[in-house]
Chains A and B, each alone.
Chain A
């Protein structure tokens, strides 16, 4: 079975949406209930910078990938040699 490579981006995109919502909630909570103190601001800033770095790094790493290619699933990783067996009964 073959699968288009770009389909890998679908679960990643869904994960990214959930991650983004939770991240925004976490940052808002930190700034709201941390009363905009210095540790709250610095830790939120670290988290944002780290997340942006990961996302940018991922985008840069994947820029050369050919997303139109197919991904073989369940296919044997080792190609067996084809053997031409001739029946002794065939003339």
Chain B
């Protein structure tokens, strides 16, 4: 779990509690694929190159052609590897003491950023599935919120249980800071404004106060 003290575009008084990337095993799996792809020219050399005299004459056409093909392969391989690493590294979830920010880097030219206020969190679910997930202790955390962005899923993050606990702890802190009355007013507004589940996971008592001065939902930048 990578904890960093600062994050750009922070609100006044906001501090980063968790900054999460997918588990290192995911990065290892990506690297393994590219390492295997790097072995393709080596295998081709063993199968073909040793039986030909194409590399004997460094001025010939065959030599030039094969060298250019190898160079193109290496450059494209390097670029694809870097872009895959970029997609991994820029896929990040940030939990601050006020917001949840979900940044998804799907492709080189496709980036989605969505955020939601923490007080809108209604339900936190974590799961670890599969043999590898249990061995390396990574899994998903799903955070249900009231709003258009409905659900945040932190995929393949390390130690999902600790993350879920951190979110619940932050929610409790917010409830303590804001007071029960304010939270009740916010919940009242949320219940009117969305068809989301009508209870908050941390508060078993239903709140039914009329809506008042709840903060507006935060849109995705």
Contact = CB atoms under 8 A, between A and B. Distances in A.
Interface of A: 5, 8-9, 12, 15-16, 19, 22-23, 25-26, 29-30, 33-35, 39-40, 43-44, 47, 50-51, 54-55, 57-58, 61-62, 64-67, 69-71
B150 to A, nearest CB: 24
B68 A54 contact: no
Contacts of A39: 89
A35 to B, nearest CB: 6
B71 A58 contact: yes
A30 B87 CA distance: 9
Given A22-B83, A34-B86, 16 more contacts: A8-B61, A8-B64, A9-B68, A15-B72, A19-B75, A19-B79, A30-B86, A33-B105, A33-B111, A34-B89, A34-B90, A35-B7, A47-B82, A51-B75, A65-B58, A69-B61
B64 A26 contact: no
Interface string B87-127: 00110000000000001010011010000000000000000
The 9 closest A-B pairs by CB, nearest first: A58-B71, A71-B61, A47-B82, A65-B64, A54-B74, A64-B58, A66-B59, A12-B68, A61-B67
A34 B74 CA distance: 25
B78 A50 contact: yes
A40 B58 contact: no
Contacts of B67: 58, 61-62
B42 interface: no
A29 B104 CA distance: 13
Say which size band chain B's interface belongs to. 20 to 34
Contacts of A43: 82, 85-86, 89
A74 B8 CA distance: 60
B89 A47 contact: no
Contacts of B70: 58
B3 interface: no
Contact of B79 (A8, A9, A22, A34): A22
Nearest to A50: B78
A62 to B, nearest CB: 6
Nearest to B55: A61
Nearest to B69: A12
Contacts of B72: 12, 15
B71 A54 contact: yes
